[in-house]
Structure 1
Amino acid sequence: MNTLVPRRDRPDIPKEYGVPDTDEGLVEWPWVVEQLEKARNYWLISQYPDGRPHCVPSWGAWVENKLYFSGGDMTRHAKNLAVTPGMIAHLESGDQVVIIYGKAVNASNTPPEIMKQIEKAYVEKYGAGEGATYALVPDKILAWTTYPTTPTRFTFG
């Protein structure tokens, strides 16, 4: 199990929005992990080669601090990622918010023990096992439970 806990601080939000200057009320990392693990759908945002955004819901599994998801070579998001690997994923709630910013990489070299965890998560959530073709490796995650008091930025690396 990956025990990496990312660095936690306040995101850069204009003062007029009323986000506190202190660390009081920051979201805890275990809550973020719980939301990512139990989420049924993830909204994946990639970028067309001409710069337009593309958004699509997808199944996925949060394992070892990465979001694993699938997409055949002919899907729009796979074509986009082949050109620009930057990606954002957003959970369904606009109130209990978790947003992942990172880079999608090919998951074909994922160790077998991780693939077993991914397949187990797919069976538990969707009733069918599925292998992942991509892993979204986060640079940062934004999360909040009560806006504007709890916005939190988690950074990796």
Structure 2
Amino acid sequence: MNFLEPTAELLFSAQDATPMSTDEATIKSWDEARICLESAPKAWLSTVRPDGRPHAMPVLPVLVDGVPCFTTRPGSRKGRNLATNPGCVITAGNDVLDLVIEGDAVRVRDDDGLRRIAGAFKAKFGWEFALRDGGAYDDGLPGSPEYGFYRITPQRAFGYGPDGLTATRWRFDQTA
């Protein structure tokens, strides 16, 4: 499943009276955003606790079919938060772009999805998972702990240039 290309636009307009650029030539491409996330050695995932307070932790990001994915233990604070509220934010950065993606994270349980995400983790990080009984396990650790694979469906994203004055917003139209 590959998502449609999002609509890219300036985050600020001339009417906003901000020091941010309103030059459409500064709009970043979604390819630059993908490269940022693909190359990131880690990203920050923010989830919502049951009492509404935020929770942020680093995760290892991979892209599968252009969609951000990550893993966490189902019993971790992140895993428990996502089980009750899929809303999340993942952030990453490089020398060209600081990237913020808002969306919903859904746990992947189908065999094909598990295989594809496990393959992406092996290719990027050398992290091998054993797939069995509809789950992903790290047999290299004592007790072979289970990990959940999550796929984020982006709703909107923001990219900020290294100059601190350029900003792009991407809107994902999930109905088209």
- Given the two structures, how large is their TM-score scaled by the length of structure 1? 0.84
Residues 1:151 and 2:142 aligned together:
no
Query: What is the DSSP-based 3-state SS (H/G/I as helix, E as strand, rest coil) of the residue aligned with 1:91?
Result: strand
Change (3 A) 1:79 1:3: closer
What does 1:5-44 correspond to in 2, within 5 Å? 5-12=5-12, 15-44=16-45
**Which of 142-151 and 53-62 deviates more?**
142-151
Q: Give me the whole-angstrom Cα distance separating, in 2, the residues matched to 1:93 and 1:16.
A: 28
Give the C-alpha shift of residue 23 in structure 1. 1.6
Query: What is the DSSP-based 3-state SS (H/G/I as helix, E as strand, rest coil) of the residue aligned with 1:49?
Result: coil
What does 1:1-157 correspond to in 2, within 5 Å? 2=2, 4-12=4-12, 15-93=16-94, 96-109=97-110, 112=112, 114-130=113-129, 131=136, 133-157=149-173
Task: Give the number of the structure whose residues are more often strand, by fraction.
Answer: 2
Letter in 1 for 2:69: Y
Q: Give me the whole-angstrom Cα distance separating, in 2, the residues matched to 1:20 and 1:92.
A: 20
Unaligned runs of 5+ residues in structure 1 are none
Calculate the aligned-residue CA RMSD, in Å.
2.5
Give the C-alpha shift of residue 116 in structure 1. 4.0
Structure whose CA Rg is larger: 2
Q: Give me the whole-angstrom Cα distance separating, in 2, the residues matched to 1:55 and 1:3.
A: 26
Unaligned runs of 5+ residues in structure 2 are 130-135, 137-147
**Which of 81-90 and 15-24 deviates more?**
15-24
Number of residue equivalences = 155
Give the C-alpha shift of residue 16 in structure 1. 4.5
For residues 89-145 of structure 1, the C-alpha deviation after alignment (integer angstroms, 9 at most, x for no partner) is: 011559720111001112113x61x54442332123221234552111110111122
